[in-house]
Amino acid sequence: MKVEQFRDPYLGTTWGELGAQVLTSGNKVGVTLGYPARGLADRLAVELAAFLGVAQVDLDVRFMAPAGRGFGNVKHVIAVASGKGGVGKSTTAVNLALALDREGAKVGILDADIYGPSQGMMLGVQEGRRPEVKDEKNLVPIKAHGIQSMSMSFLVTESTPMVWRGPMVSGALQQLLNQTLWDDLDYLIVDMPPGTGDIQLTLSQKVPVSGAVIVTTPQDIALLDARKGVEMFRKVDIPVLGVVENMSVYHCPNCGHENHLFGAGGGEKVAEEFGVALLGELPLAIEIRVQADGGRPTVADDPDGEVAAIYRDVARHLAARLWALDADAPQITMDDN
Ligand SMILES: Nc1ncnc2c1ncn2[C@@H]1O[C@H](COP(=O)(O)OP(=O)(O)OP(=O)(O)O)[C@@H](O)[C@H]1O
Ligand SMILES: [Mg+2]
């Protein structure tokens, strides 16, 4: 059996079909995947050894982002969105960005929530800190916890009134996108403002987005809005990479009891209905809030912890989906001819 016939754990497709580069020599295997998978290397080595029927594989997992459809030196733009506000979009976005970084990718995060920017606070960027300006018009992203970031909150003061009209919002966002000097990114995570109105639609059309991730909580009302989110991206031909269910299970810190406060299996329902993947489920956990509020999101604060492991799994999963889309793309063009 050959390494190329090994089925990727996230995609169920063989590495050969996905176009992974494989080099073997004795029990040494080097594989280049289209998603960053540092945290998965040990598990892959064990599974690959079992698949090949050998005692041990000395596995070296590398990463090369699929050829992007992004802009400038940004390979892939990934929008993190939700229909409803307050479901944990920003918290999920920043933790996924950090998770992709820890897995081995070069990552930036753009806070597109012009009304209520929150990435500065969550990344622990000191209030009042301004990005460096180059050539009088370009902004140097602010580095925090290993990732590059840009947010409207870096440019306005608390006393600046945030009275924006729709066109101004898309204008401001476009400016943030075009005038930020991103330094060679594999992934730019965009933390979208809440809702599925005109502004969101315009933004998704103005930005070359490779894929979208929909965040939802399990309540019916949030699920309804998650459906609208999926439909909105479909309308503008942006692939939905999957759904993340946030605040799905509550672990009582005192007694260890688990409770589905908002009901169970909601994200799964939405995912099934629309034929998209359920990328993962994050618990309702006080530390997620405390860490983000304190400027050290969970994945930065405790990268090897239990909750960070879920974010890292979701991050690999969504990047793997993007890779699969890319692997499919040439076939689609061939069919068209
Ligand atoms: N899994 C979680 N467990 C506990 N608290 C969480 C979790 N996810 C998010 N929170 C908290 O819930 C609140 C809302 O989260 P967040 O700001 O990320 O939501 P949002 O969808 O971006 O909101 P908005 O629509 O206002 O932009 C924050 O206080 C955050 O710390
Ligand atoms: Mg937010």
- Specify the residue with its C-alpha closest to ligand 1, atom 26: 86
One domain for residues 40 and 88: no
Question: What pLDDT band is residue 39 in, cutting at 50, 70 and 90?
Answer: very high
Residue 27 scores a pLDDT above 80? yes
Nearest bound ligand to CA 195? Answer: 1
Whether 34 is in the pocket of ligand 1, judged by its Cβ within 6 Å, is no
Question: What pLDDT band is residue 188 in, cutting at 50, 70 and 90?
Answer: very high
State in Å: Cα 86 to ligand 1 middle: 5
Containing structural domain, residue 206:
74-336
Question: What pLDDT band is residue 229 in, cutting at 50, 70 and 90?
Answer: confident
Looking at 26, 44, 63, the residue that finishes a domain is 63
One domain for residues 128 and 50: no
List the end-to-end C-alpha distance of the chain, in Å, as a whole number.
35
One domain for residues 100 and 158: yes
One domain for residues 155 and 218: yes
One domain for residues 272 and 301: yes
- Specify the residue with its C-alpha closest to ligand 1, atom 19: 88
Q: How far apart are CA 33 and CA 322, in angstroms?
A: 12
- Specify the residue with its C-alpha closest to ligand 1, atom 2: 284
Indicate whether 262 belongs to any domain. Answer: yes
Count of CA atoms in the C-beta half-sphere (13 A) of 184: 4
pLDDT, position 226: 80
Nearest bound ligand to CA 94? Answer: 1
Whether 31 is in the pocket of ligand 1, judged by its Cβ within 6 Å, is no
DSSP one-letter code for 195: S
**Residue 18 three-state SS:** helix
Whether 289 is in the pocket of ligand 1, judged by its Cβ within 6 Å, is yes
Looking at 43, 63, 83, the residue that finishes a domain is 63
Whether 112 is in the pocket of ligand 1, judged by its Cβ within 6 Å, is no
160: phi then psi, degrees, rounded to nearest 5: -70, 120
Side by side, the strands of the sheet bearing 74-81 are 142-144, 147-151, 107-111, 185-191, 74-81, 211-216, 240-245, 278-281
One domain for residues 50 and 188: no
Residue 153 scores a pLDDT above 80? yes
Indicate whether 69 belongs to any domain. Answer: no
Indicate whether 193 belongs to any domain. Answer: yes
Question: What pLDDT band is residue 20 in, cutting at 50, 70 and 90?
Answer: very high
Whether 113 is in the pocket of ligand 1, judged by its Cβ within 6 Å, is yes
Q: How far apart are CA 311 and CA 93, in angstroms?
A: 10
Nearest bound ligand to CA 287? Answer: 1
pLDDT, position 195: 76
130: phi then psi, degrees, rounded to nearest 5: -110, 145
One domain for residues 58 and 126: no
Query: Which one-letter amino acid corresponds to residue 8?
Result: D
∠ at Cα 282 (281, 288), nearest 5°?
Answer: 170
Indicate whether 68 belongs to any domain. Answer: no
One domain for residues 138 and 242: yes
Q: What is the DSSP string of 100-143?
A: HHHTT--EEEEE--SSS--HHHHTTPPTT----EETTTEEPPEE
**pLDDT (average), residues 165-191:** 84
One domain for residues 26 and 157: no
pLDDT, position 334: 37
Whether 118 is in the pocket of ligand 1, judged by its Cβ within 6 Å, is yes
Q: How far apart are CA 186 and CA 105, in angstroms?
A: 6
Whether 285 is in the pocket of ligand 1, judged by its Cβ within 6 Å, is yes
Q: What is the DSSP string of 38-57?
A: GGGHHHHHHHHHHHHT-S--
Look at residues 327, 277, 315 and name the one whose alpha carbon lies nearest to residue 187.
315
**pLDDT (average), residues 122-131:** 92
Indicate whether 82 belongs to any domain. Answer: yes
Q: How many domains does the chain have?
A: 2
**pLDDT (average), residues 204-226:** 83
pLDDT, position 223: 79
Indicate whether 283 belongs to any domain. Answer: yes
One domain for residues 58 and 109: no
One domain for residues 197 and 247: yes
Report in angstroms the alpha-carbon separations of 250 from 142, 183, 219, 281, 286: 34, 39, 14, 11, 9
One domain for residues 29 and 102: no
pLDDT, position 335: 36
Indicate whether 280 belongs to any domain. Answer: yes
- Specify the residue with its C-alpha closest to ligand 1, atom 9: 88
- From the CA atom positions of the chain, what is the Rg in Å? 20
> What CATH number does residue 186 fall under?
3.40.50.300
Residue 63 scores a pLDDT above 80? yes
pLDDT higher for 219 or 228? 228
Most confident of 129-143, 150-164, 211-225: 129-143
Looking at 63, 90, 108, the residue that finishes a domain is 63
Residue 6 scores a pLDDT above 70? yes
Locate the DSSP E strands across the chain. Answer: 21-25, 28-33, 58-63, 74-81, 107-111, 133-134, 138-139, 142-144, 147-151, 185-191, 211-216, 240-245, 250-251, 258-259, 278-281
State in Å: Cα 261 to ligand 2 middle: 22
**pLDDT (average), residues 166-188:** 84
Query: Which one-letter amino acid corresponds to residue 127?
Result: E
Q: How far apart are CA 317 and CA 113, in angstroms?
A: 25
pLDDT higher for 224 or 18? 18
Ligand 2 being an ion, which residues bring their Cβ within 5 A of it? Answer: 89-90
Between 86-90, 297-301, 326-330, the lowest mean confidence (pLDDT) is in 326-330
Question: What pLDDT band is residue 60 in, cutting at 50, 70 and 90?
Answer: very high
